Amino acid sequence: MNSDTSENEQSRSGTAKPGLYLTYQQYDPVKFPSPTQPPSDLVTPMMEWLMMSGEDGAALSEEQLRRAIRLDPSQLGRLGPSLQSIRQWLLERKQKILRTYEAESAMAEQTKSYANLVRQVKPPKPLEHDYRKAAIGQQIYGLERLWYRIGDHNSHFARHLMKVVGHLETLSELQQLNANYQFTGRQELTPDEAIEVKQELEKIDELLKQLDEAEKTGQVGIIDLDELRDFVQEGDPTALDQIRQMLDSMVEQLAEREGLDKQKGRWQLSPKAMRLYQSRLLGRIFSQLQSSRSGRHNEPVQGEGVVELSATKAYEFGDALSAMDWPQSLTNALLRQGGRTPLTFHSDDLQLHRTQNRPKCATVVIGDMSGSMRYDSQYVNVKRMALALDGLIRTEYPGDSVQFIEMYSFAKQKTTAEFLKSMPKTVTIHDPVVQLRYDMSRDDITESMIHPHFTNIQRSLELARKLLEVQPTPNRQIILITDGLPTAHCDGPYLYLLYPPHPLTEQATLREAQLCQRAGITINIFLIPSWSQSEEDIRFAYKLAQQTQGRVFFTAGKDLDRFVVWDYVAHRREIIS
């Protein structure tokens, strides 16, 4: 019986048919599960963590890498019995504690001890009212403030006041213990023993939470195996060792497969791992393209170009002979002359390779790293976009070029690796109005003396224009990624830091945009959300883009890489067509 026919008939009729299908009756035959699961991905979480931290050295410890592993359901099933048994041990230990002890007596004892201590303390007259109020009201914050008001912290009252605070902290923990857990036992505890029981119960709850998270996400590395060891002595002591050995083995295998290098006990990203991350990032971006609207492979324009195709055509007057198909042309001449010599060529003998027009495009990406980019970790989205665009050009458009500029109070050209280490600048001045001017031509003024967290779009555009003017292609563009108005600009040797945004800065930035327009450079702006963004920011972005017939894109920060890459592909398609 043909299983495909049986499955199709069953799909149409809705009733089970006898035959091979009955073996798989729990599954939808149209969406039959894959026999393999996608492999665990170590490179992506490692890259995301490094972009977030911006740390130099790009290395993770063994424990950090283990936490990055995410097991698919089939792999997690190999740990299933062990995880379930550990969960059972923890639950049994928790229930045993709750059935054995009662905590009310410990709280009553601590309450009595605290009240006696409060009565014994004799505060100075000026502090007596505040002391009685805070102590009777059990206000730890009030007692701490009172301690700071004491001139001599070695005085008799100061030392006794700290004892009162310590007793109140213990009483507060016991109150939490009785509120969070339902004890049913009869064995009494001292206050100190009750605190130890509370700590043990909280550890068990945290471990149970880790186990739940590990089962949901497959991230087994988040489980604190050392902490677990204290609770499994009565169970199978080899279970934790089996899990640790499995994770260590998986780390070694996955790290080797994904191009991670181990040096001095720490894992580092290799060029292979970087390319792998870029490939996965581009795969995620292009998987969201709708085939009915756009696609990754643009239609080439045939004509006189630099890339030869396998297809040929007959010579026509005016065609360049640089793409001559010599084997076919010689064959045509030999056939026409019948083997006679000397061999001569006629125009009808000539065959030329068709060529494909592949114009180059030069791009400079300006990434905002001012102080406001810390909001919602927008700087990570900018770095992710940089990697995606760099990977796209390396793999799909190797003739194109892309360069990166880090924008803050200044503008600095960066390599891709350097750009990934860039971090938003720390806000060093919090005045509501800032109007500063620096003469950067002076030897006694250096960059380290300047507040770094402002946004200098004018200087960044100037640097980008100079980089693009030397590129041997008419297709030049600037991709400006920012969250709002410029707050800094340069005028000759002077650097201006002006907040709130000032008309002088806006005018200087628009003048630079005009210079870009005269150089044939297009400015496309990707405006990402910010807590302080207003209609004025949007209006300025449109004005800046219109100077060079560019466009403004409004993106959610997490979609930035997708928008930039899609726009780049669309831009290349427009150039070619």
Q: Compute the C-alpha angle 387/389/394, nearest 5°.
A: 95
Burial 185-195 (b: 16+ CB within 10 A, else e): eeeebebeebb
386 C-beta neighbours (distance < 10 Å), count: 25
Proportion of the chain above pLDDT 90, given as a percent: 31
288-344 pLDDT tens trace: 544 333 333 344 434 444 455 677 888 887 777 777 888 888 888 888 888 788 888
| pLDDT of the residue at 237 | 53
Question: C-alpha 504: how far from its chain's center?
Answer: 36
Query: Residue 285 and residue 391: Cα distance in Å, rounded?
Result: 12
The CA dihedral of 501, 505, 507, 511, to the nearest 10 degrees, is -140
Of the candidates 333, 335, 409, the one whose C-alpha atom is nearest the C-alpha of residue 369 is: 409
Tokens of 345: 């060529």
- Per domain, the residue ranges of the chain are 1-33, 43-100+196-269, 104-180, 301-357, 362-576
- Pairing type for strands 301-303 and 260-263 reads unpaired
pLDDT in tens, the chain (577 residues): 444 444 444 444 444 444 433 334 444 444 444 444 455 666 777 777 777 877 654 566 666 666 666 655 445 555 544 667 778 888 988 999 999 999 999 999 999 999 999 999 988 888 889 999 999 998 888 888 888 888 777 888 888 888 999 999 999 999 999 999 999 999 999 999 999 999 999 999 988 888 887 777 666 666 776 677 676 655 555 666 666 677 677 777 777 777 777 777 777 777 777 777 777 776 765 565 443 333 333 444 344 444 556 778 888 877 777 778 888 888 888 888 887 888 888 888 888 887 655 568 889 999 999 998 888 888 888 888 888 888 888 877 777 889 999 999 999 999 988 898 899 999 999 999 999 999 999 999 999 999 999 999 999 999 999 999 998 888 899 999 898 899 999 999 999 999 999 999 999 999 999 999 999 999 988 888 777 777 888 888 888 888 888 888 877 656 666 667 767 777 665 554 4
Q: How far is CA 501 from CA 214, 349, 458, 487, 540, in A?
A: 48, 70, 13, 5, 11
Which residues in 161-171 are b (16+ Cβ under 10 Å) and which e?
A: beebbebbebb
d(CA 453, CA 455): 7
Whole-angstrom Cα distance, residue 321 to residue 314? 11
Enumerate residues 6+ apart whose C-beta is below 8 A from 178.
103, 104, 107
For residue 4, the model assigns a pLDDT of: 44
Distance CA 459, CA 490 (A): 6
Instruction: State how far the Cα of 462 lies from the Cα of 490, in Å rounded to an integer.
Output: 10
pLDDT number for residue 442: 93
pLDDT of residue 244: 67
> What DSSP element (H or E) covers 476?
strand 476-482
Tokens of 405: 């500029």
Contacts of 370 (CB under 8 A, 6+ apart): 407, 408, 409, 424, 425, 453, 454, 455, 487
Kindly report, residue by residue over 376-407, the tens digit of the pLDDT: 888 888 888 888 888 888 877 777 889 999 99
Q: How far apart are CA 98 and CA 265, in angstroms?
A: 43
What is the rounded CA–CA span in Å between residue 258 and residue 268? 11
Q: Which residue from 105, 129, 133, 135 is spatially nearest to 117, judged by alpha carbons?
A: 135
Collapsed DSSP state (helix, strand, coil) of residue 525:
strand
* Confidence (pLDDT) at 308: 56
Nearest to residue 79, comparing CAs of 224, 251, 228, 215? 215
* Residue-wise burial string across 488-523, b where 16 or more C-beta atoms lie within 10 A, e elsewhere: bbbeeeebbbbbebbeebbebbbebbeebbeeebbb
Q: How far apart are CA 546 and CA 548, in angstroms?
A: 5
Residue type at 219 in one-letter notation: Q
**362-576 CATH choice from 3.10.20.440, 3.30.470.20, 3.40.190.170, 3.40.50.410:** 3.40.50.410
Q: Buried b / exposed e across 434-462, counting CB within 10 Å, b at 16+?
A: beeebeeeeeeeeeeebbbbbbbbbbbbb
**What are the two backbone dihedrals, phi and then psi, of residue 491, each rounded to the nearest 5 degrees?**
-140, 100
Hey, how many other C-beta atoms are within 10 angstroms of the C-beta on 389? 24
| Residue 460: both structure tokens together | 């960044």
CA pair distance 380, 543, nearest whole angstrom? 27
In this prediction, residue 484 carries a pLDDT of 83
Select from 294, 333, 257, 355 the least CA-distant residue to 43.
Answer: 257
In this structure, the number of other CB atoms found within 10 A of the CB of residue 291 comes to 7
Per-residue tokens: 563: 């928008």
